[in-house]
Chain A
Amino acid sequence: METLKCMRLDERMEANELVAPEPLLGTWLNTNSATQGVTRAVLFAKDGQFKLQIFGAGHPGPCDWGETSASFFATDASSTEAMAFSAFYDFGFMDTRLQGHVRQGVLIIAKFDRFKDTSGRSNYFSKEFFYRTDQ
């Protein structure tokens, strides 16, 4: 039997199927309705790919970040159910790396914002919580 290479013990098992992203697909709303960060995250399938669309808090209305590709990740190497994603937005003056994972029905999105302009704003990390909605 072929021995699988691994860098940690929990990588020794294989899965029988591809990771199914359905548990993450849908519209997720921030649990904090007064957030100044991300108000809404939408994960969906499009043309055989998986996409993320983020809406940031803005004035007078939400700021649509547009669509970006999302990669899905399972709980472990033998699991076939997605429970996390990562995605990246590049806005020119800044970029942000997003990582989300579901825990007890709550989607936790961590944002790693990096400013590329000369504003002097610090690159920073933040985390927000989202619940699924049918909207």
Chain B
Amino acid sequence: METLQCVKAEDLVERSDIGQHGDRLLLDSLTGIWRNTNSKTRGIVKVEIAVRGSSLIVHAVGAGEVDLSDWGEVEAEHIFGNSISSHVAAGFTAQYDFDFSQVHLQANWNQGLLVVASFTSFKDGSNRSNYFSREFFHR
């Protein structure tokens, strides 16, 4: 029997336990308009997720003073299931690169909620700290 490489025991699975889909996960589980559970958020107001071809497209909208701040669309970098043998997408990573900051999004679906962690790094020389936030979204 071929031994699979791993760096933690949970990744050592039998071939027969692995789906035959490889890294092709079903993406529909993540699509739709996800709104922040906190209607007064000062962070991300909503995230629209769509499938385009074989890509997952992420469109985040931030809270703004007068109007919402449209971050635009980015393609998810990587898509993840919730287990090594799952064939349903349950999370993704995506990156926004603005002229003054970079935001790395890491999202996972959990019990009907989309949990979005964002890691913001500033590159404008302001005294703002790089910061982390985690918000919850419902469809």
- B5 engages A122 (CB within 8 Å): no
Q: How large, as a class, is the contact surface on chain A?
A: 35 or more
Q: Does A84 contact B (CB under 8 A)?
A: yes
**By the criterion CB–CB under 8 Å, are A11 and B128 in contact?**
yes
Chain A minimum-CB-distance residue to B24: A122
Instruction: Report B27 CB to chain A, min CB distance, Å.
Output: 13
Q: Determine whether the beta carbon of B81 is less than 8 Å from that of A125.
A: yes
Q: Counting CB contacts under 8 A, is A27 at the interface? A: no
What string of 1s and 0s marks CB contacts (under 8 Å) between B49-71 and chain A?
00000000000001111000101
In-complex Cβ contact of B82 among A57, A121, A124 (8 A): A124
CB closest residue in chain B, given A55: B8
> What are the residues of chain A within 8 A of B62 when measuring CB–CB?
6-9
CB <8 Å contact, B130 and A122: no
B residues 85-106 in Cβ contact with A at 8 Å: 85-87, 90-91, 93, 96, 98-101, 103-104, 106
B116 to chain A, nearest CB (A): 11
CA distance A71 to B46 in the complex (A): 26
Query: Which residues on A sit within 8 Å (CB–CB) of B20?
Result: 120
Given A113-B11, A125-B81, is A4 in contact with B128 using a C-beta cutoff of 8 Å?
yes
Asked if A121 meets B84 with Cβ closer than 8 Å, knowing A7-B98, A71-B130, the reply is: yes
Residue in A19, A84, A120 whose beta carbon sits within 8 Å of that of B15 in the complex: A120
Chain B residues within CB distance 8 Å of chain A: 4-11, 13, 15, 18-23, 25, 42-44, 62-65, 69, 71, 78-87, 90-91, 93, 96, 98-101, 103-104, 106, 108, 117, 119-122, 124, 126-134
Beyond the given pairs A7-B71, A112-B78, A114-B78, 12 more chain A to chain B contacts, judged by CB atoms under 8 angstroms and listed by A's residue number, are: A5-B101, A10-B42, A19-B130, A72-B130, A79-B131, A86-B104, A110-B117, A112-B106, A113-B11, A118-B22, A122-B85, A123-B23
29 contacts between A and B (CB under 8 A): A7-B71, A9-B62, A10-B63, A13-B128, A18-B129, A37-B10, A57-B10, A58-B8, A65-B7, A72-B130, A73-B130, A86-B119, A94-B5, A101-B134, A110-B117, A112-B93, A113-B80, A119-B18, A120-B18, A121-B18, A122-B80, A122-B83, A124-B81, A124-B82, A124-B83, A125-B80, A125-B91, A125-B108, A127-B108
